[in-house]
């Protein structure tokens, strides 16, 4: 269970890192669309785990690698944005958020099950 302080810091990081990606992203990863879906803060607020959704590309890991290559630049811009709001600038760890992909995969699986069940019932009649 995250504390109120962790949730506030996570929201601050999410808003500001999203703005950094919006400003600097096109220079880093071209046409891909990257959004911040979630941020988890460590209890001491020293680490921000940033979960990203990547669209308009087939290779999400390549986009993540490009972001990791520009980690120092992104953190520098990010720290300038939040330094007045938070005492210690957290370290940033970026991860691909697979939640939407998993949801679409499960939805397709349920659709196939429903279709096979419907075709199985029509054959029995």
* Domain boundaries, position 50: 4-98
Evaluate whether residue 46 is within a structural domain. Answer: yes
Cα–Cα distance list, 92 to 56, 115, 123 (Å): 24, 44, 56
Q: What is the pLDDT of residues 41-84, one digit of tens each?
A: 999 999 999 999 998 888 899 999 999 999 999 999 999 999 99
CATH at residue 17: 3.30.300.20
Number of C-alpha atoms within 13 angstroms, CB side, residue 112?
6
Determine the pLDDT at residue 122.
63
Per the structure, the count of domains in the chain is 1
Strands (E), 27-106: 33-41, 47-55, 91-96
Evaluate whether residue 10 is within a structural domain. Answer: yes
Q: Is the pLDDT of residue 92 over 60?
A: yes
Evaluate whether residue 14 is within a structural domain. Answer: yes
pTM of the shown model: 0.80
């Amino acid at each position: 269970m995250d504390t109120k302080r962790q949730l506030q810091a996570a929201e601050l990081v999410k808003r500001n890192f999203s703005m950094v990606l919006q400003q600097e992203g096109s220079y880093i990863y071209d046409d891909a669309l990257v959004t911040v879906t979630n941020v988890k803060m460590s209890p001491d607020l020293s680490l921000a785990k940033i979960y990203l959704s990547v669209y308009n590309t087939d290779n999400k890991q390549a986009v993540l690698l490009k972001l990791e290559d520009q980690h120092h630049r992104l953190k520098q811009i990010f720290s300038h944005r939040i330094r007045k709001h938070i005492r210690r600038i957290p370290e940033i760890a970026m991860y691909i958020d697979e939640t939407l992909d998993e949801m679409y995969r499960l939805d397709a699986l349920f659709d196939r099950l429903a279709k096979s069940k419907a075709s199985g019932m029509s054959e029995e009649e």
